[in-house]
Amino acid sequence: MHGSLMNWLAAPKHGWQLAAFIFGGLGVGAIILGLMMSTPARYRKTVVALATFVAGLFYSLEFLIPPQLWPLKPHRNPLTDARPLVGEVLVVVFSFALLLGVWNLIQIHGHAIVKRSHGWYNSAAFFVSFIVILATGFLKDAHIKGAADVFTVTFNGFLNPMDATMFSLVAFYIVSAAYRAFRVRSVESALMMVTAAIVMLALVPVGVQLTNWLPKTGFLSVFRLENLGYWLLIWPNMAAQRAIAFGIGVGAMAMGLRVWLSLERGSFFDKQL
């Protein structure tokens, strides 16, 4: 019975069934939000912390308890069978979070347009582009004639060139940051500049030609720029990257535990919900 219900829920829906699922999901979400808003303010943080803890506990137990250690027969962790359903629930939660972000943008840019604040025309451009992309996307999915062409022109003709422009501007900031970082003011900065110069020269034909007169085998071959650059990338650079990745992993685990146990105190928990 449980498997049949899961298969029916996961099966693709069309027509009135799809519309019923969409509006039913919106209705259930509205009811949950209404119940959350009707909860007294002093209890909302407790409800949020409890929901966060239960969600984190589910994935922790599903990952940490192997099937062989499950005491009941069959030796299978039942949480693993429920993981697809929980994943779909998370997608729904993410969708509501996306809608909340869109509503926040609408409020900010709408306020800028009403108040005619500095740069309000950028907010107007946001609304125009948002409405055009949203409308053409829905019309394309509805297979309206010509909507796919408008959608393609909107993305290929506007969005992709603007993305390329933004990345080209970022390149100038990277060059500026590199110039400031390579200014020799200490032994560490001098070492970094020499290392960067060796690696960059080792990756271009001109740099390889500078030490092409050295033998390709033997002790002196170590001082060829391509060999020095390869050694710097494989040994010191890789060791540093692994140390950074290890530190990031430990920090991410600590942050995950703090969020899971509701120990993190930021703008969310510092304000009255």
How far lies 243's CA from each of 215, 229, 234, 238, 257, in Å? 35, 20, 14, 9, 21
| Helix 120-141 / helix 147-154 crossing angle, nearest 10 deg | 140
> Looking at residue 120, what is its pLDDT?
92
Q: What is the pLDDT of residue 273?
A: 46
Instruction: Return per-residue pLDDT of the chain as tens, 273 residues.
Output: 555 666 666 677 777 887 888 788 788 878 887 888 788 877 888 888 898 899 889 988 888 888 777 776 677 778 888 888 888 888 888 887 888 889 899 999 999 999 998 889 999 999 998 898 888 888 887 777 777 788 888 888 888 888 888 888 887 887 787 777 777 778 887 888 888 888 888 888 888 888 888 898 888 888 899 899 999 999 999 999 999 999 999 999 999 898 888 887 665 555 554
> Tokens in use for 257?
């535990």
User: And the tokens for 50?
Assistant: 């409890």
Residue whose C-alpha is closest to residue 82's, from 30, 25, 10: 10
- DSSP state at residue 118: T
Position 91 scores a pLDDT of 85
Which pairs from 225-228 meet CB under 8 Å and 24+ separation? 225/198, 225/201, 226/202, 228/198, 228/202
pTM over 0.75: no
pLDDT for 107 = 92
